[in-house]
Amino acid sequence: MNHMKNHTNSNHHNMAGCLSILGTGSDVGKSIVVTALCRIFNNMGLNVVPYKAQNMSNNSYVTMLGGEMGRAQVVQAQAARVPLHTDMNPVLLKPNSDTGAQVVLHGKPIVTQQAHEYFSDTSELFNEAKKSLNRLRSQHELVIMEGAGSCAEINLMDRDFVNFKIAHEADAPVILVADIDRGGVFAQIIGTLNIIPKKDRQRIKGIIINRFRGDASLFKNGIDYIEKETNLSVLGLIPYFRHIEIDAEDGLPLDIKIDPPEELNGSSINMAVIRLPHISNFTDFSPLQREKQVVLHYLAKPRSLKKYDVVFLPGSKNTRGDLEWLKKTGWNNIILDYAHHNGKIIGICGGYQMLGKRIHDPFGLEGTPGETTGLGLLNVKTTLQKEKKLHHSIGKWLPNQTLIEGYEIHMGITEPVSKVLPAIHLSDRNGTAINSYDGSISDDGNIWGTYFHGLFEKSTFRAAFLKKICPDYHTISNSLSQLSELDYRDSQYDLLAEHYYKCLDIAKIMKIIGLSEYNG
């Protein structure tokens, strides 16, 4: 990829131009397209930044300033090589039930609402989202905007500000993304274009088709048909890939199998993550999946845990509800039996709270006010509080003094019921020096919990953790383990950019954006 000689913005007053990436549906790969374009344009020497006016995800991250934002925009910012800022995702909805969600504005939670309440009036949030967009446009040369779900949800169109509304506001050309792997790609594209208003239809300037399997030459007549029917260019047919690891936006990655057939052997380090109904921040376990010696299963249906070396209780957006689910399904007895047979259990965030004696919810933050009995495997109790703790934290893992870094997102305060061994000594939160402790460890060291997310991203901690479980573990067997997390992540963004660059008509995309003198 060569550098651009220079470029001109289609907008004046030194405001960056914008490009909007909208989808024919959810999970069609919009966020991956934005990630790829961020790295491609950055490699060309352009100061590019991602933006999503409103995101719905329980997979979030905390910036160095203590603001919460969706993980997809974190990934996109890393690909664009720009520092994180909540302006990239001004409105974040974190579902805590089938119909309710916590609303996070500019990185801080403001209210928990039912869907009908939220959608009754979104004008104020739209105004705030516009302010964020304008700030980004004044500081960068190009903003790549991501839509949400389908851009053709007719029932929500008057209240939806994340798709065409913000694109019109920014005078952004739109590229429509479809997913051929799920089938019905012609209906996805042509159906979307047929049901959206004329004003929206006119803003769409091209189409990208994701996740193609097979011989691309056999789809040439398909592309011809789409271009003839829509009068739009297909800007890229992107082959399906498995060799690139990018954090998923929300929900587990599509290629992760829940409850796989039990194929465990003694030579692997076998791990299980209990797939809670309101699981959050599952990316905590992604670094472990890269390890060649690790087999990691997500389990929703109760089964014996005896053959697993470690069991994880992950984060949850409704800890009390998920704790009741563990009891209702019988998972609690299986987990307790596993613990009583010297099983290793690790709870992160909500999972840590579940391992304690009880969770007290005096304000009814997760349903009816009251108390839920925990698994009782750690001598701690949790009280849920209205104010959310959002920290980017640095400290030491006490059992072996390993330096660690991560982030905390939780509504509760967890305190010892009687004397407990803390897990982490904290030295820094959001850039301020502190002297505090986090987490707790059982007397035998088999069970521990922490509020730290991102713990396994540090290769030094991960290696020490795996070595303790399996003395035969050796990092030399996996060259990926030798890379720092930063270098590994960066290598994946480069692979992604290369994969898309080969298949996209970049010159045409530059023309759509209004960037001139592209030296491709």
Catalytic residues: 349, 453
Whole-angstrom distance, CA of residue 29 vs CA of residue 11: 28
Could you tell me whether strands 370-373 and 402-416 are parallel, antiparallel, or unpaired per DSSP bridges?
Answer: unpaired
Cα 259 → chain centroid: 22
CA distance 358 to 375: 8
Q: How far apart are CA 374 and CA 355, in angstroms?
A: 6
How far does Cα 374 stand from its chain's mean position?
28
CA 188 and chain centroid, separation: 25
Q: For residue 250, give the amino acid letter.
A: D
H helices within 394-458, ranges in order? none
Using DSSP's 3-state secondary structure scheme, residue 228 falls into helix
Q: How many CB atoms lie under 10 A from the CB of residue 2?
A: 10
**Cα–Cα dist 422/396, whole Å:** 11
Task: Decide: residue 228, CB within 10 A, 0-12 exposed, 13-18 middle, 19+ buried.
Answer: exposed
- Which helix (H) or strand (E) segment holds residue 463: the answer is helix 459-469
Q: What angle do CA 105, 61, 175 make, to 5 degrees?
A: 75
Cα 371 to Cα 361, 381, 420: the distances in Å are: 6, 11, 22
C-alpha closest to that of 41 among 74, 10, 87, 76: 76
User: Can you list the alpha helix ranges (DSSP code H) found in 209-265?
Assistant: 220-230
Q: Which of 145, 150, 175, 162 is nearest to 55 (CA)?
A: 162
Six-digit token string for 371: 């108390």
Nearest to 47 by CA among 136, 149, 147: 136
3-state SS record for 310-348: EEEECEECCHHHHHHHHHHHCHHHHHHHHHHCCCEEEEE
